[in-house]
Amino acid sequence: MINGKKVLAIIPARGGSKGLPGKNIKLLYGKPMIAWTIEESLKSKYIDKLIVSTDSEDIGKTSIQFGAEVPFIRPKELASDSAKSIDVIKHGIDFFENQFKVIILLQPTSPLRTVKDIDYALEEMRRKNVQAVVSVCELEHPIQWVGKLTKDKRMVNFTMNKYKNKNRQELEKHYKYNGALYIADIDYFLENNGFIGNETFAFVMEKEKSVDIDTLFDFKLAEFFFKEKTNERY
């Protein structure tokens, strides 16, 4: 609970994954990937209930093993490739019939996010007295270096051409969603049909915590950072 509001955290974990089959329970540095999110979430001072929304019995069993609640198996219409996260969250909210005032979406594909990030983001929301906070990280490369290729691969449309005489440090910073944290008052979420509205604020996270696993490359990158964290302790 924060600011007198009960907090519901939902971890969405669909069984089907085309980019990296079985990724949600694939062993990542010694644990099923979803376990990293569950364990950190359970340490939160503010989360009142943590659930996993899944269509998979295997994911459900694994989630329960690591301490999460799995109060339902997600309906088939919310388990397809075309199913939207917004509808999955609405289903979770409706299931508890107005018991909670704040919703957190914690994707299991962001295993490097820690309880400090979760609680700091909630505290930032309270401190600023805002209705929604979404995590972002700085882009790896300046957006000014991005462009479109012509059919014959010429780079005439690259915006970098306009900034070729500037050093990287002189260019304006840009940020992207990192997928780790989406937090909002439930009324605000329902009003905006999602977490993004005019009163949504950014919670900036380090790039090292912002790996969002969709591919085998992402998976290996996350493993690398887990190993780095372990080496720092010893």
Cα atoms in the Cβ-side hemisphere of radius 13 Å centred on 126: 14
Q: What is the pLDDT of residue 42?
A: 97
Residue 2 lies in a domain: no
Residue 1 lies in a domain: no
Same-domain check for residues 112 and 145: no
Q: What is the pLDDT of residue 165?
A: 58
Residue 18 lies in a domain: yes
Same-domain check for residues 92 and 132: yes
233 has a pLDDT exceeding 60: no
pLDDT single digits (tens) 62-96: 999 999 999 999 988 888 777 788 999 999 999 99
* pTM to 2 decimal places: 0.88
Domain count, the chain: 2
Same-domain check for residues 149 and 190: no
Report the CATH number at residue 39.
Answer: 3.90.550.10
Same-domain check for residues 205 and 165: no
Same-domain check for residues 213 and 164: no
Count CB atoms within 10 A of the CB of residue 204: 12
Residue 44 lies in a domain: yes
Residue 78 lies in a domain: yes
Same-domain check for residues 19 and 101: yes
Residue 120 lies in a domain: yes
Domain holding 218, by residue range, is: 7-136+175-233
**Amino acid at position 117, single letter:** D
Same-domain check for residues 102 and 210: yes
DSSP string, 108-134: TT-TT--HHHHHHHHHHHHHHT-SEEE
**Are residues 119 and 45 in contact, defined by beta-carbon separation less than 8 angstroms?**
yes
Distances (CA, A) of 224 to 113, 143, 147, 153, 217: 15, 26, 30, 34, 11
Same-domain check for residues 163 and 77: no
Same-domain check for residues 169 and 180: no
Same-domain check for residues 161 and 112: no
Q: What is the pLDDT of residue 130?
A: 94
Same-domain check for residues 113 and 12: yes
Same-domain check for residues 181 and 111: yes
Residue 164 lies in a domain: yes
pLDDT single digits (tens) 11-33: 999 887 777 888 999 999 999 99
pLDDT single digits (tens) 29-49: 999 999 999 999 999 999 999
pLDDT single digits (tens) 135-180: 999 988 777 777 778 888 887 777 655 665 566 677 788 899 999 9
Tokens standing for residue 170: 């002189």
